[in-house]
Structure 1
Amino acid sequence: MAVARPVRVLGLAAVMIWIFFIYSLFNGKGQPPNLKGKTPPSFEHDPMLDPTGEPEGPLHRASELYAPGIQNSARINATLLSLVRNEELEGMLQAMRDLERTWNHKFNYPWTFFNDVPFTEEFKKRTQEVTKAQCNYELIPKEHWEVPSWINNDLFLESTKVLKEQGIQYADKISYHQMCRWNSGMFYKHPALANTQYYWRVEPKVHFFCDVDYDVFRYMQDNNKTYGFTINLYDAPKSIPKLWPTTLEFLAEHAGYLHENNALDWLTDKVRRPEHNEKANGYSTCHFWSNFEIGDMNFWRSKAYEDYFNHLDRAGGFFYERWGDAPVHSIALGLFEDKSRIHWFRDIGYQHIPFFNCPNSPKCKGCVTGRFTDGESFLYKEDCRPNWFKYVGQG
């Protein structure tokens, strides 16, 4: 029986609509809901889906030499470090319990807490109850936290209005700007850290998912690593439009600080997200998400970094824009350090909402292997790991 022409037309239209729907779903502009936790279509290959073991090189295991409070222990000169408010106690306890359970109960490295106001007795008591390791509670000196004298308050207020209109989060919170500046160039100058070399930054409410059975600080030392990260993201270019031009001004005067084995390609890539490079005036905006970082403070104390930070600080961008410690640290590492000394801790399961580092390992529980985010699908485009793997590798 012949099909009437109007029916044929409707059938053809339905087929075309279905084809368009399938194309829109899978053409890389978005991620279908059932792909959450899996490799997004635009990602060449996510190495987190591959079996993950411990890093190569000498590894130091837990032993009685790591018992709490003993003299001549196997611990090296390092601390777990947190900038935290009294009112963030519950979130800090949760993060501590995670890291103590997965790693520090085996090695008992000290915790060092910083605050711009004195810690309460409740904060001290409850945090010390979570760990057998020593806890230190430190007050930030006013001169390290206060807004510098060269910052014009009227200009700051006008600048925050512009940033807020552009949707930049925390732009109008002076304490956020102070925090970014302190994390960028002040924390390692605190007297309590004067004789400390390595640190592991831990923030409230973060999660750790995987058992780590080696001393990560000894790994950094033995393998000549300067910096360790888990998550690598794009920044909001409207928050840092003058950061890269200000950096280029510095490089023009200090070309000798540029390391011959730098990660400049990673910092200036304009292929993957060209609009970011354009809005940030030549900077890809790729950065290590510094709510997790394991670092050697000798790098921050170097003349190259001190000169760089002072140049940025005088430019005022920590207040007139919203320069964060993550892009500042990342740019400095990418320019002034040997990129082979920067290590991706792919075996450490980690979450800071809304992003994950979740390895394919039997040592991990509580996160989905390879999941980058449990947020909206558009967040997948914030992942800058492909650029790091492209230009540097997975070491």
Structure 2
Amino acid sequence: MLSLSGLLVITYVYRHTIVASTSFYNSFIPDLEPIDIPFQQQQHQAFLSSLKYKNRYKSLSLQYNQQITEKKQVENHLYRHLDDPYDFDTEIPGDTWTELPARGVVYLLVRNEDLPKVRLTMREFLDRMKATTNVRNNTYPWVFLSAQKFTPDFKKYVSSMIPSDEFKGRRVFFGQIDLEAWSSPEWIDTTRTEEGIMKQILAQQSLKNVDSLTKKQKMRYQTGLFFYHPLFDNVEYVLRLEPGASFPCDITTDPFETMKKKNKKLGMHSFLNSSFILPAHETIHPWLFNSYNETVQYNFCHFSTAFEMVNLDFLKSEQYSKFFQYLDLVGGFFYERWSDGAIRTIAASLFLQKDNIHFFNNIGYSYANTQHCPFDNKSMDQCLCDMKQNTNLKRNSCTLSLLKHIDTQQLANIKRLVLDRLPEMIRYRKKSKTVNQ
């Protein structure tokens, strides 16, 4: 069965420009049925192309409204629950970014039950962004995508967080995910997928760390499909957040403007445990591997996509598209536990220069078990953030090792800050050990 290490084998071969063939697949994946690679690639390309057409979404809306009209005529005493039109957004007007330095959006993949978490995240982010001069009197648009139909309450209460302005227009947009993009593609063996999920459940005797089918669909969609939605047609940069994320610090610089001015393609602040391909020494590829006794081993370091800034030119590039297509056909999103963070990391190590990657040190962020506190005394003065709980200082963090490759000056600043706060952190750890004893 193809594991994450198998993904790295494929990546290694991909780096050395070996052409995909049936024998190549079967040499690494013995339990995968032989497939017609040229046909599958053609099929996959047609699938991706079908997602690019804006008219596809508009026609769905028109068809649904027509069905409602017909229902009213035939069963006018039973139609009331169908009265709401199937209305979702398909485009962001070009003048939305007139007063902003970059064509950026804040993007969340949500469910209706996420409403309280979404409002919390929006409130904190908007309040913290008020410290940024460029967006004090304006706001970047927010895009919400869902595989569900948005309820009226969700749209009402989310939209109320950023009221529409007659001059600046709407700032909140709701998009429907194409079911073809969300569902398992036809080349996936659903029985094998279900058996893999059951094996995880039986092996762990728990559902806690088992990837559900919905999560597998989400990982695939976030890795290589979300940016085909027509709401992103005019978008240059995307800040991707998770419902429930919080921001403990003032955001004093516009992250979208930072990405544009510095020509960055990918931005993060937490890093956890062919001719297209750049030479390894020019990328972060060496960061992904450790050498022991003349052998090279994958160290499982990857970007955390709970907070991700990405230039869509990178995700829509020919090399990234072909890379995703290649992995999508293998089926590891469904048969294994491939995550968007791991694959985005590997893609960055293949196709991006080191200076295309940005570490957002000055943005404090907290989500689930991940917390980033800025490694900067001035920023910390404006934070409700406990440096002692900083994920990037824990043993399973890969942040400091990555900074050796992408930003040595930032690494030096961090070392100075840690040394300044070392006595305080030592006292905290001693106190914690005493309490636990």
TM-score (norm 1): 0.70
Residue identity matched to 1:139: Q
1:76 aligned to 2:102?
yes
Deviates more, 1:351-360 or 1:115-124: 351-360
- Please tell me whether the aligned partners of residues 75 and 109 of structure 1 are also in contact (alpha carbons under 8 angstroms): no
- Please tell me whether the aligned partners of residues 82 and 203 of structure 1 are also in contact (alpha carbons under 8 angstroms): yes
Q: 1:331 matched to which residue of 2? A: 346
Q: 1:163 matched to which residue of 2? A: 200
1:258 aligned to 2:278?
yes
Residue identity matched to 1:265: P
Q: 2:288 matched to which residue of 1? A: 267
SS at match of 1:151: coil
1:393 Cα shift?
A: 3.0
Distance 1:185 1:161, change over 3 A: same
Distance 1:334 1:365, change over 3 A: same
Q: Distance in 1 between matches of 2:318 and 2:183?
A: 23
Deviations, residues 201-224 of structure 1 (Å, cap 9, x unaligned): 111111111112232211111111
1:193 aligned to 2:208?
no
Larger proportion of helix: 2
Q: 2:36 matched to which residue of 1? A: none
Q: 1:86 matched to which residue of 2? A: 112
Deviates more, 1:89-98 or 1:157-166: 157-166
SS at match of 1:322: coil
- Please tell me whether the aligned partners of residues 270 and 391 of structure 2 are also in contact (alpha carbons under 8 angstroms): no
Q: Distance in 2 between matches of 1:71 and 1:268?
A: 41
Residue identity matched to 2:230: P
- Please tell me whether the aligned partners of residues 110 and 145 of structure 2 are also in contact (alpha carbons under 8 angstroms): yes
Residue identity matched to 1:156: T
1:116 aligned to 2:147?
yes
Q: Distance in 2 between matches of 1:175 and 1:216?
A: 31
SS at match of 2:160: helix
1:334 Cα shift?
A: 1.6
1:221 aligned to 2:236?
no
Distance 1:258 1:159, change over 3 A: farther
1:145 aligned to 2:165?
no
Residue identity matched to 1:291: A
- Please tell me whether the aligned partners of residues 259 and 336 of structure 1 are also in contact (alpha carbons under 8 angstroms): no
1:258 Cα shift?
A: 2.8
Aligned residues, how many? 297
Q: Distance in 1 between matches of 2:337 and 2:350?
A: 21
Find the partner of 1:390 among 400, 404, 408. 404
1:142 Cα shift?
A: 1.0
Distance 1:78 1:232, change over 3 A: same
Q: Distance in 1 between matches of 2:144 and 2:242?
A: 10
Distance 1:270 1:123, change over 3 A: farther
SS at match of 1:382: coil
Distance 1:174 1:116, change over 3 A: same
1:283 Cα shift?
A: 2.4
Identity percentage of aligned residues = 30
SS at match of 1:138: strand
Distance 1:166 1:326, change over 3 A: farther
Deviations, residues 106-140 of structure 1 (Å, cap 9, x unaligned): 24000000000111111111112222461000000
Residue identity matched to 1:372: N
Distance 1:324 1:205, change over 3 A: same
Residue identity matched to 1:266: W
Deviations, residues 126-163 of structure 1 (Å, cap 9, x unaligned): 11222246100000011110101111111112212233
- Please tell me whether the aligned partners of residues 211 and 363 of structure 1 are also in contact (alpha carbons under 8 angstroms): no
1:269 Cα shift?
A: 2.5
Deviations, residues 174-195 of structure 1 (Å, cap 9, x unaligned): 1000000000000111111112
Segments of structure 1 that go 5 or more residues without pairing to the other structure are 1-68, 235-253
SS at match of 2:105: strand
1:322 aligned to 2:342?
no
Distance 1:157 1:365, change over 3 A: same
Distance 1:170 1:179, change over 3 A: farther
Q: Distance in 2 between matches of 1:330 and 1:116?
A: 26
Segments of structure 2 that go 5 or more residues without pairing to the other structure are 1-94, 164-169, 411-437
Equivalent residues in 2 for 1:217-366 (5 A)? 217-234=256-273, 254=274, 256-259=276-279, 261-270=282-291, 282-359=297-374, 360=377, 361-366=379-384
Q: Distance in 1 between matches of 2:297 and 2:219?
A: 22
- Please tell me whether the aligned partners of residues 303 and 341 of structure 2 are also in contact (alpha carbons under 8 angstroms): yes
Root-mean-square deviation (CA, aligned residues, Å) is: 2.5
Equivalent residues in 2 for 1:366-381 (5 A)? 366-373=384-391, 380-381=394-395
Residue identity matched to 1:342: I
Q: Distance in 2 between matches of 1:102 and 1:115?
A: 26
- Please tell me whether the aligned partners of residues 228 and 345 of structure 1 are also in contact (alpha carbons under 8 angstroms): yes
Residue identity matched to 2:177: I
4+ aligned runs moved over 6 Å, structure 1: none
Residue identity matched to 2:155: K
- Please tell me whether the aligned partners of residues 224 and 341 of structure 1 are also in contact (alpha carbons under 8 angstroms): yes
1:363 Cα shift?
A: 4.9
SS at match of 2:401: helix
Q: Distance in 1 between matches of 2:329 and 2:97?
A: 44
Q: Distance in 2 between matches of 1:220 and 1:340?
A: 11
TM-score (norm 2): 0.64
1:328 Cα shift?
A: 0.7
